[in-house]
Each structure stands twice: as structure tokens, then as C-alpha cells.
Structure 1
Amino acid sequence: MPYSKLSLDNYLPYRLSVASNAVSGLISTAYDSLYGLKIPEWRLIWVLNEDGPSTQQALVKRTGMDKVTISRAAQALAKRRLITRAPHEHDGRSHHLILTPEGQRLFNDVAPSAVEFEKEVLANLSAEEIELMKDLLRRIEDAALKTQGRSGSR
């Protein structure tokens, strides 16, 4: 297809970004007003709940967020006593972020809302379409990471 015929509305990176921004915006407004949480903060709470104590480097890999975003989210959560930091047993320059009991309670309060938002956003899709979409998104992510790895080594 000639570049002059390329439509932004049909360009996959654009569609993914717009869809992600729409969903994140919806959720962000609700989480901020109800719980005082920004999306990166909620994502860290969720990962720490699911994975247990993690280093900031592990959180960068797990969430796809950059170091600065992780650091700011961690500082905000620590200030609210939702997470705590513990020394890393093998790396004196690093530390583990750990969900506190208060952070766990907040996760337990927010999680049902997260599930409801997901249900609302996906309401027009069948169970099969949802599973296919999740599989396709994982495959797109894997392909992008592989391509990034190849281009990073040039």
C-alpha cells in the first residue's frame, strides 16, 4: 500500500494507543476520585499483591512502565504507607517493594471495581472474542519485544 493511502485510523500502533488511553482514562478518573490512586500506583499495588515483594527493576519488566514512572508511583505509595521498602539481600543498591497490610486492604477494596470496569468495557464482546483478543495482544507484545531486541542490538 502506498504511504499516501495509509490511514491513521487503521494503523495498529495508533489504534492500540487510542484504545489503551480510552480505557486508562475511564479507570484513572474513577480510581483517582474514589481511592486517590493514579494508574501506575494501582498497577504497582496489583503486581505486588499478585507477585509479592519485587524490586523496581523487576517491576519495570513486569509492568512495561519506565523506571521514573515506577519510582514516582512507589514514592507516592510509600508516602501513603501502602508499600514499604526492604533491603535487597544480594544487592545493596536495590531494595524490595512490599505491599503493607494497609496496601492489601486497599487492593481488596479496589479489585471488585477493577473487575466491574473490565466487564463494562468488554460487555459487547463474547467470551471467545475476549480470549482471542487477549491472545492476540500477548502475541503482538511478544513480537514487538522481539523486534525491539533485534533493533537494539544493531
Structure 2
Amino acid sequence: MTTLKLDDFMPYRLSIASNRVSAAVATAYEALFGLTIPQWRLIAVTAESDGLTQQALGAATRMDKVTVSRAAVALVDRGLVARRDNPGDARSHLLSLTRAGRLLYDNVAPKALELEAQLFTGFSKAELADFAAMLARIEAAAASIAPERG
């Protein structure tokens, strides 16, 4: 009989590594900018567009509807994100960064890149490229087992 040793189970190890990285990032974003990880993800994705629906933000960030909604409400309340009517669909709104949101993004992005550099300082460019390729393959394999629901 084959036994499962959790510390050798790759999905578990991947989850633990992800949780540790997320905790380190969350601590930095909260301390420096008063942002949660979901709020930062929405700001980062929104910064790359002229306006996105909450549904599109959920798909882009892989976060559920409730998490996206709560983060969006908090960002609108802080004046970092603006909601406007969606001319393509009257049932939804488009979210975009306000001037204050753009300024915050411009301050957070370099810190995010510094944190990434700190996390991966002991890895060569080739190792990071291989790791990125492996992550893409892991994501694709997971998607083939359990496709995401729209």
C-alpha cells in the first residue's frame, strides 16, 4: 500500500510556499500602504486597463466574486477606484483607478518588484525562467483536471 507523506506531497508543498509568500507580501502591503492582497491585485490589474467589470477582475485575478466585491467596495470607499456605468452591459459597472489610485499604484509597484527581487535573490535568471515555465505547466495541468468555472 502506498502511503502519503504530506511533506513530500507536491500540491501541499506548493500551497505552503504560496501561503508563506502571500503572508510576506501581505505584511509589507498592509504596513506600507494599508492594502490587503485582494485590494492590491485589483489595483494592479485595473492599472493595466481603462476599465474592467468585477467579473473580468475576478477572472484576471483568480479570486471569487465575494472577495472581488469586498476589495472593490473598500477601494471605492478609499477613493482609489471609481465605478462608472458599463456602456456594453447595463447590469455591470466598470472599475478604473482614480488619480489617487494611480498614484498609489505608482508607489506600490516598485515596492512589489523589490519584494520579488528579495524573494528570488538566490536564483539565477535561468532558474527563474525554468520556474516560470514549470508554474505555467502546473497551472495548465490543474486546469485540465478541474477547469475554472466562469
- Normalising by the smaller structure, the TM-score range is over 0.9
Equivalent positions of 1:1-154 (< 5 A) are 2-4=1-3, 6-149=4-147
Matches of 2:28 and 2:36, distance apart in 1: 10
Query: Given the superposition, is the C-alpha separation of residues 16 and 52 from structure 1 closer, same or farther in structure 2, using an over 3 Å criterion?
Result: farther
Deviations along 1:27-66, one digit per CA (max 9) or x if unpaired, are 1111101110000000100001123311111111111111
Query: Given the superposition, is the C-alpha separation of residues 86 and 129 from structure 1 closer, same or farther in structure 2, using an over 3 Å criterion?
Result: same
Task: Provide the aligned length of Structure 1 versus Structure 2.
Answer: 149
Gaps of 5+ in 2: none
- For the aligned residues, what is the CA RMSD? 1.5
For residue 125 of structure 2, what is the amino acid of its counterpart?
A: A
For residue 71 of structure 1, what is the amino acid of its counterpart?
A: S
How far does residue 7 in structure 1 lie from its aligned partner after superposition? 1.6
Deviations along 1:103-131, one digit per CA (max 9) or x if unpaired, are 00000111111011101100111111111
Deviating runs (4+, > 3 A) in structure 1?
Answer: none
For residue 133 of structure 2, what is the amino acid of its counterpart?
A: D
Q: Which structure has greater helix proportion?
A: 1
For residue 52 of structure 1, what is the amino acid of its counterpart?
A: D
When the two structures are superposed, what TM-score results if normalisation uses the length of structure 1?
0.91
How far does residue 97 in structure 1 lie from its aligned partner after superposition? 0.7
When the two structures are superposed, what TM-score results if normalisation uses the length of structure 2?
0.94
Matches of 1:140 and 1:44, distance apart in 2: 24
Q: Is the 8 A contact 2:83 2:94 kept in 1?
A: yes
